[in-house]
């Protein structure tokens, strides 16, 4: 499969996952429950989340397309990618719809572990391409700290 086609497919999958997750967020951000939570002092303003996720998913789509093209174990890569996709989608309803910050924390920790695996595996295979997944990993570290703060202080 051509690299350009892979990039487009991963863009569709990644932004589709964000859209599905967004459906479950709905009014969660403006809900009384979320508003009343004690949030971390380092919580960014709301607009940062949209900008961050857009940038992350563009970079991640390029990363996955390159990895998928270069790897000899496509089944494993796609399986991990699919699990990551499900975890990414699952966090929103768990946190905002079911208001279960603890289970959402377990999900985001699992998601972070998968992205860390992608970041630190195959050092020779991906080289500079790893910079494309670094924003995702860093953002998940921040998001995990925000989720953990809510679990600990609410």
pTM of the model: 0.93
Residues whose CB falls within 8 Å of the CB of residue 60, separated by 6 or more in sequence, listed in order: 10, 14, 132, 133, 136
What are the chain's domains? 3-153 (1.20.1260.100)
Q: What is the pLDDT of residue 24?
A: 81
The answer to whether 105 touches 148, Cβ cutoff 8 Å, is yes
The answer to whether 28 touches 36, Cβ cutoff 8 Å, is no
Statement: residue 47 has pLDDT above 70 = yes
pLDDT digits (tens, 9 = 90+) for 8-18: 999 999 999 99
Q: What is the mean pLDDT of residues 65-70?
A: 93
């Amino acid at each position: 499969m051509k690299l350009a086609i892979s990039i487009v497919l991963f863009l569709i999958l990644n932004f589709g996952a964000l859209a599905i997750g967004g459906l479950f967020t709905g009014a969660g951000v403006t809900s009384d429950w979320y508003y009343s939570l004690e949030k971390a002092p380092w919580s960014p303003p709301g607009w940062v989340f949209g900008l961050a996720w857009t940038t992350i998913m563009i970079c991640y789509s390029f990363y996955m397309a390159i990895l998928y093209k270069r790897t000899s174990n496509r089944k494993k890569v796609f399986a991990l990618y699919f699990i990551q996709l499900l975890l990414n989608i699952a966090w929103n309803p768990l946190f905002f719809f079911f208001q279960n910050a603890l289970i959402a924390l377990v999900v985001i920790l699992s998601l972070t572990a998968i992205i860390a695996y992608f970041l630190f595996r195959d050092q020779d295979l991906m080289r500079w391409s790893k910079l494309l997944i670094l924003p995702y990993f860093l953002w998940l570290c921040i998001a995990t700290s925000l989720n953990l703060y809510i679990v600990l202080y609410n």
